[in-house]
Each structure stands twice: as C-alpha cells, then as structure tokens.
Amino acid sequence: TIVALLTKVIARPEVGQLIIVDDASTDGSLAAIRQCLTRLPQRRTADVIHLPINRGKGGAVARGFAIVNQPFVVIQDADLEYDPADYATLIAPLLAGQSRVVFGSRFLRPPAKGAARIPLHDAGNHFLSWLTSWLYGIRLTDMNTCYKCFDSQLLAQLRCTERGFGLEPQLTAQLLAAAGSIVEVPISYTARSFAEGKKIRWQHGFRQLWVLVRE
C-alpha cells in the first residue's frame, strides 16, 4: 500500500515536508518509496529514513520527529485506513488558533456505507477513550487515532519511549500536558482486516491501560 498512500500524500497541497520512515522492511518497500518520490512536486522536500532494525511504530515516529522542519506535524500510517484528504480538516483548528493539538476522530463521522468495522476493536477504543477522558479531565472520542496533528514546537516537550501501541496513550498524555487542550475533528476511516495485515490485538490494550495510568 505504500505507493498508493504516497501518491495521495504527494498530491496534498498542505504537505511541505514529507518524512518517510522505513522500519527495516524486507519486501522492497524502500525501492518503491524512492521510485515514487521521483514524482515529488517542486518546492517540497522528502526525507527517507531506513531503520536497519525494526523499532516498532513508536521508534519510527520518534525518529521522524527528530527532523521535522515545518510548523505542523501529522502522523500518517501507510496502510490506507486513513485518508490524506482529511489534512485540511486537521490543520484548520490549528490555523484558527483553537488549539495546538488536533485529533482526527473515527467516531465523529458515520462509517462509509459497506465499510467493515471490527466491533471488539471499536469497543476497546471507546473504553480507552472514556478512561483517558476520565483520568485527564477532557472529552475524547478517539484516543487511539493515528491522526494526531499538532504544533511542531511541542516536539521539544515529548518523550517518545513507547515502541509499540503504547505510543498512542503516551503521545496523548504528553501533548495534552504540553498544550493544555485537544480538539477533535471528524475524519474518514476504512478499517482493514487481520487478513489484510492489521496487527493490533486486544492484548495490547493492557499496555495502553498501564501507559495511561503511568503518564
């Protein structure tokens, strides 16, 4: 899915800097990425980072954070569940000064007709979002969203030590501490199945619970 995803990202006018972290892939992704970037429009930059040892999403995101040079940051998974067409929606509250952190919520917009969802995952996400809201005194509907968008000046206050799915609650807690508020906007979402490569399992929720309490 990497080429299909990059094609969409490259087409977005909001993108000034593109940081791609290849997390020790062995399937030819790196060559496909470099070929795709030959179509990058002028006045945009792309940094490709290859990690020789798999460090998990947390490690990959932290490595990418280290070289951000634009005013805003958005995290993008490469599995096509999230649509880059939502970038404008994500950055609008930042540009308006409503908050320095914006989350794209999968639950503020009805699922597309015929879209497959995993009820157990949705239930887990709802519970973890409720717990986050209760622990931190805010109202969140989707703590686990990939689309976390924020002012890049906040990067100096983040400590991304979680390497797996614990990254989501850790980032949520630290961004809230740094910015004081989180605004949510509705986004589109097309869930993929386990057969298509979805990796998160219910067991990962225990780590996220621990991280929420620890943070």
User: What's the rounded Cα separation, in Å, for the pair 114 and 92?
Assistant: 29
Nearest to 16 by CA among 93, 91, 126, 117: 91
The pTM for the full model equals 0.91
- Strand ranges across the sheet with 101-105: 72-74, 148-151, 101-105, 183-186
The partner residues of 76 in beta bridges, in order of sequence, read none
pLDDT digits 0-9 by tens, 29-66: 999 999 999 888 877 889 999 999 999 999 999 999 99
Q: What is the pLDDT of residues 100-140, one digit of tens each?
A: 999 999 999 876 655 556 676 788 899 999 999 999 999 99
CB atoms inside a 10 Å sphere around CB 138: 15
